Amino acid sequence: MGVRTIFLGLLLCGFALQTGCNPTNYRTDTDKIAGNIITEKQVQGTGKASKFSIERPSDVLRRRLLANQNLPTSSPASLGTDRLKKIEHWPEKNYPAAISEGNIDNINDVNKPITITLMQALQIGALNSFDYQTQKENVFQSALSLELERHSFRNTFVAQVQNLLSTDTTGDRAVSGTVTSGEIGASRKFQSGAEISTSIAIDLANLLTMGGASSTGLAGEGSIAIPLLRGSGRHIVAEPLTQAERDTIYAIWNFERYKKLFAVDIASKYLSVLQQLDKIKNSEADYRSRISSAKRSRRLADAGRIQEIEVDQAVQNELTSRQKWIAATQSYKRQLDSFKTFLGLPPDALIELDPNELKNLAASMQQLIDLNAGENETIDVNQVTSDSDLLKLLEADYKNAGPYEIEESLATKLAFENRYDLKTADGQVYDAQRAVVVAADALGAELTFLGSANIGSRRDKIGDATSDNSRFVANRGVFYTLLTIDLPLDRKRKSLEYRNSFIKLEQAVRTMQAAEDTIKTEIRNTLRDLLEARENMYIQAKAVSVAEKRVKSVNMFLEAGRAQIRDLLEAQDALLDAQNALTAAVVSYRVAELAIQRDTGVLEVDEKGLWKEYSPGGI
């Protein structure tokens, strides 16, 4: 009766486990575990924990634009996984579910064309970008891999119940019976290399014929295995766990580095689109000016004041200007579409960028332009006393540098302290060193101690029904120990792996050195970009001023008959080029400011994608 009760208990327990641990519970528990691991490794790797989730809200801007602006879609997948039709045998009826977080990107009415600021673009990219989401999932998956490695050193339990119904008609009399068996076991692997397992089995063999004889079996088993030479020691056994721990930190570092790169890329592309929009404005003004010049040349030619060939030149330049205006417009549209897809938004969405961002940037740079203008005046030829004075050139310097034009040595020091990709490369050198140790261990002999104990006996066959009930006496059983040794007679494969481990170590060191050199090169080039863009801003600001004065003067001389139409056309060309070059220099300088913060690793980007720039005073 007691054995039957135990079997019934095992069956009920199994049913409870099956109904309690459904797919939803498994998924939510896994999410919690991964979240805890990521928080733990964030603190270890960056010194702080930040909000992290791979579950994206369903009301992201991409989806709202597709729905509210009636943009074409090809399938339900266009709107997200929660809109997919659940297929047959789908495990969770309510997952994925729509998740609404309200106004998460500060964009309200999307039923009409919307204008987004640079800060909004940063938030939109963090929520909508496909690549950004993939980077987050890489971190999550690394946490799952770590959990799997950790699980290999925990207690593992198994429970099994089976019922066998058998009929044997090969003899003189048919024999029928049942065997019900239940087994519960546990095992554990330790980081020293030792493995322990125990199990207990209960059997009930019962004949349905021949008087209904029955017998119960009760058996216990335990074993231990301890490696004494090769494969022993925590540094060898737990190496996969150690690597998984470090890989998770690497994944977090890679994501932190990616966020900085992504934010600067957004700013660069955003300002490039506005730069192209400014080109349209300049091209439009130039086109109107060329139309006026062509009409004026026609009037002057009719009055006999200029030749007909000059009229043709003006008309030709008018047509060229129109072509440039159209080309600038189409280039702007292409760049805007490309920027929208970079953010993860539909390219056909009605979105514009805020032109005030460029105006505000130009205004903020004006002080720097004015400061450099006072220090970089051209040589007054009227005061030149010798050829040597005339040939004396003023080199670009850092006398009136911007706040982020820091010394190269300081910038390099900041990068070495803050660049996560360099930390990863340096950490992988240590990984390669540990791999050498593991490969060396594999060259040795294997010596393993095995111990086992079996108490009681099983009744797991129909024929056992006529046997006596099993007796379970702790000091009566079968006990044995075994010592096995595997001599290192043939270690060709392992010796080659050992040699390769040193080669991989050298490669890891070179990779770290290359990363170090790359960082130095990036910093040196970005500082040069800052210097060049600052000088260029001043030069082009001066060029715009001169070109505007030149156009005005040529117009006056043309009216007085002291200039040709070609002079006006050349002056207009110079003005357009200078205007476009000035905008490009302003954008280049701002992007370089962000780039030097990115390259030194001091630009901070939060979980929303928003940056916090490094304080120049802190530098």
What confidence tens digit (pLDDT) does each residue in 384-414 have? 555 555 556 667 777 888 899 999 999 999 9
Q: How many CA atoms lie within 13 A of 617 on its CB side?
A: 0
Least confident range from 14-28, 193-207, 275-289, 598-612: namely 14-28
User: What pLDDT was estimated at residue 401?
Assistant: 86
Return d(Cα 522, Cα 520) in angstroms, integer: 5
Place of tokens 């080109």: 279
Cα of 364 vs its chain's centroid, Å: 32
Average pLDDT (143-159) is 95
Model-wide pTM > 0.75: yes
Residue 91: asked if its preceding bond is cis (omega within 30°), the reply is no
Place of tokens 């302290």: 417
Element (H, E) at 549: helix 492-559
User: What pLDDT was estimated at residue 152?
Assistant: 95
pLDDT band at 619; cut points 50, 70, 90: very low
How is residue 217 written in tokens? 């079996």
User: Quick check: helix, strand or coil at residue 446?
Assistant: strand
How is residue 108 written in tokens? 């309200």
Of 601, 494, 476, 585, residue with least CA distance to 539:
585
**Residues written for the chain:** 619
User: What pLDDT was estimated at residue 46?
Assistant: 95
Pairwise pLDDT comparison (464 vs 51), residue with the higher score: 51
User: What pLDDT was estimated at residue 393?
Assistant: 67
Element (H, E) at 479: strand 477-486
Q: Is 46 exposed, middle or buried (0-12, 13-18, 19+ CB in 10 A)?
A: middle
pLDDT band at 175; cut points 50, 70, 90: confident
Distances (CA, A) of 282 to 54, 275, 430, 439, 589: 44, 10, 56, 67, 20
pLDDT band at 7; cut points 50, 70, 90: low
User: What pLDDT was estimated at residue 615?
Assistant: 85
Q: Show the 3-state SS of 507-525.
A: HHHHHHHHHHHHHHHHHHH
Return d(Cα 361, Cα 537) in angstroms, integer: 12
User: What pLDDT was estimated at residue 1?
Assistant: 42
Query: What letter does residue 606 receive in the DSSP assignment?
Result: -
Q: What is the pLDDT of residues 359-371, one digit of tens each?
A: 999 999 988 888 7
Distances (CA, A) of 477 to 182, 223, 458, 552: 20, 13, 13, 112
Q: What is the pLDDT of residues 435-446, one digit of tens each?
A: 999 999 999 999
Q: Could you give phi then psi for residue 236, rounded to 5 degrees?
A: -95, -50
- Over the chain, what is the mean pLDDT? 90
Return d(Cα 365, Cα 402) in angstroms, integer: 9
pLDDT band at 6; cut points 50, 70, 90: low
pLDDT at 103 > cutoff 80: no
Q: What percentage of the chain's residues is helix, strand, coil (to nearest 5)?
A: 60, 15, 25
How is residue 124 written in tokens? 């939109």
User: What pLDDT was estimated at residue 391?
Assistant: 56
Least confident range from 162-176, 501-515, 539-553: namely 162-176
How is residue 283 written in tokens? 């091209």
Cα of 199 vs its chain's centroid, Å: 45
* List of residues 6+ apart from 427 with CB closer than 8 A: 246, 249, 250
- Interaxial angle between packed helices 130-151 and 23-46, expressed in degrees from 0 to 180 and rounded to the nearest 10: 100
User: What pLDDT was estimated at residue 94?
Assistant: 86
pLDDT at 339 > cutoff 80: yes
Amino acid identity for residue 486 in this structure: D
Distances (CA, A) of 588 to 282, 541, 549, 591: 18, 14, 26, 5
% of the chain at pLDDT higher than 90: 71
User: Quick check: helix, strand or coil at residue 561?
Assistant: coil
Query: What letter does residue 194 receive in the DSSP assignment?
Result: -
CB 59 within 8 A of CB 104: yes
Q: Strands 446-457 and 477-486: what pairing?
A: antiparallel
User: What pLDDT was estimated at residue 18?
Assistant: 54
| Sequence-ordered alpha helix ranges (H) in 374-476 | 387-391, 408-418, 420-441
User: What pLDDT was estimated at residue 405?
Assistant: 93
| Sequence-ordered alpha helix ranges (H) in 185-238 | 234-237
What sign does the CA torsion over 438, 442, 447, 453 have?
Answer: positive
Q: What is the pLDDT of residues 449-485, one digit of tens each?
A: 999 999 988 888 888 888 888 888 777 889 999 999 9
% of the chain at pLDDT higher than 70: 92
What sign does the CA torsion over 394, 395, 396, 398 have?
Answer: negative
* List of residues 6+ apart from 273 with CB closer than 8 A: 332, 335, 336, 339, 353
Cα of 315 vs its chain's centroid, Å: 53
Of 268, 269, 281, residue with least CA distance to 329:
281
pLDDT at 504 > cutoff 90: yes
